Amino acid sequence: MVAIILVEPQMGENIGATARAMKNFELSDLRIVSPRDGWPNEKAQNMSVGAIDLIENAAIHNSLKSAIADLEYVYAATAASRDMNKGYVLSKNVMQEAPMQASKVGVMFGRESSGLNNQEIAYANKILTIDTDVNFSSLNIAHAVAVICYEIFQAKNQPRKDLDHDVEKLAAHQELEYFYEHLFSVLEKKHFFKNPEPMQQKIRNIFTRIDNLSHKELQTLRGIVTCLDKR
């Protein structure tokens, strides 16, 4: 199952169109972070046509963090090339690139006007990009959702990327959050941060790049931080 996360969507029509495209391609887990015009949204309902069930069951969140807490692998769908050392995956490889044992994958999409910001992208394991004309690369958000859902559906019967080590339960994003909280509080205490926000973003971008980070490995990382924190 793949979740679609809309981050601060502005127009109800696009939320409705997203629900419809998801249902066309057999997806149902819609999560919305702080929709601009509140919730419920009549325009979203009208535009969803036969996918009103997805609108009614959409999970509304106040933060991206809570929206992706249970997910094991998260993509940030964005066209812009970012000065961020994060891997890119082309839309056609969306499922082949997601690690095989990740049972909970999500794709997040940004605002119509400005997409996802770097802070939000830092939460993703990889950037998911749709190949377009380089001179006209800004896709309508519902079109981008439709293309991605289409590719997820096409990939249903394709084998997913396998691992060269034993399959272990992956760490969910919530666990990673606990790790960051722990790490950041220790670093804070030791006056590591001059400017916390950009540095924390950099740190997120390092750890989200660890492919297939398992629950056990994350416990090891936490153990390391605890150990280093001891006098």
Binding residues vs a second copy (CB under 8 A): 17, 20-21, 23-26, 49-51, 91-92, 130-133, 136-140, 142-143, 146-147, 150, 153-154
Q: How far is the CB of 13 from a second copy (least distance, A)?
A: 9
Minimum CB distance to a second copy smaller for 25 or for 180 = 25
Which DSSP string corresponds to 89-133?
A: EEGGGHHHHS-TT---EEEEE-BTTTB--HHHHTT-SEEEE----
Minimum CB distance to a second copy smaller for 85 or for 157 = 157
Q: How far is the CB of 76 from a second copy (least distance, A)?
A: 19
Q: Tell me the residue length of the chain.
A: 231
3-state secondary structure of 45: helix
Minimum CB distance to a second copy smaller for 132 or for 220 = 132
Minimum CB distance to a second copy smaller for 95 or for 122 = 95
Report CA-CA distances (Å) from 25 to 61, 118, 178, 183: 24, 29, 34, 40
209-222: b or e for each residue (b if 16 or more CB lie within 10 Å)? Answer: eeebbbeeebeebe
Q: How far is the CB of 46 from a second copy (least distance, A)?
A: 13
The phi and psi torsions of 198 (rounded to 5 degrees) equal -65, -35
Q: How far is the CB of 77 from a second copy (least distance, A)?
A: 13
Q: How far is the CB of 189 from a second copy (least distance, A)?
A: 48
Q: How far is the CB of 51 from a second copy (least distance, A)?
A: 7
3-state secondary structure of 179: helix
**61 and 128 in contact (C-beta within 8 Å)?**
no
Who contacts 229 (Cβ-Cβ below 8 Å, separation ≥6)? 186
Q: How far is the CB of 21 from a second copy (least distance, A)?
A: 5
Minimum CB distance to a second copy smaller for 19 or for 221 = 19
Beta bridge partners of 129: 90
Minimum CB distance to a second copy smaller for 134 or for 227 = 134
- Across the chain, where does the E strand assignment appear? 2-7, 29-33, 59-61, 73-77, 88-90, 105-109, 126-129
Minimum CB distance to a second copy smaller for 150 or for 180 = 150
